[in-house]
Amino acid sequence: MKKGGKTIVGLTEKVSLFSGNGKKRTLNAKIDTGASKSSLDINLASQLNLGPIIKSKMIKSAHGNRLRPIIEAELEIAGKKIRSEFTLADRGHMKYRMLVGVNILKHGFLVDPSR
């Protein structure tokens, strides 16, 4: 759905990640307007052969400050393909293996929590 040229997404969205060899993996992602960078489960990134690591960044989270590796990957969300940076973290114990942050949402998305 669109409003004023922006694509409306909910608090969770189905997204597709494209692997290094062109294969596509679809999963549910958590939309997080409080996260400046998107985050991806490190084991999922390994399975999809994503990488290489382009840099590292100190990230503040509920678990404290951590230096996390950053990769670039292509995803599709609400019909839009976007290439962006993702921090890698062990998200295996979390409900969502991907968190979509502001670095992706700023590409013309509005978040509607009622969706």
Would you kindly state where each structural domain of the chain is located, as residue ranges? Answer: 2-111
- pTM higher than 0.95: no
- What fold, for 2-111? Cathepsin D, subunit A; domain 1 (2.40.70)
Given this model, what pLDDT does residue 61 score? 75
Given this model, what pLDDT does residue 3 score? 75
Render each residue's pLDDT in the chain as its tens digit; 115 residues.
Answer: 777 789 999 999 999 999 877 789 999 999 999 999 999 999 999 999 998 999 999 888 777 888 999 999 999 999 999 999 999 999 999 999 999 999 999 999 999 999 8
Token output for 68: 């996390």
Instruction: Report whether the peptide linkage leading into residue 52 is cis, meaning its omega lies within 30 degrees of zero.
Output: yes
Distance CA 21, CA 27 (A): 18
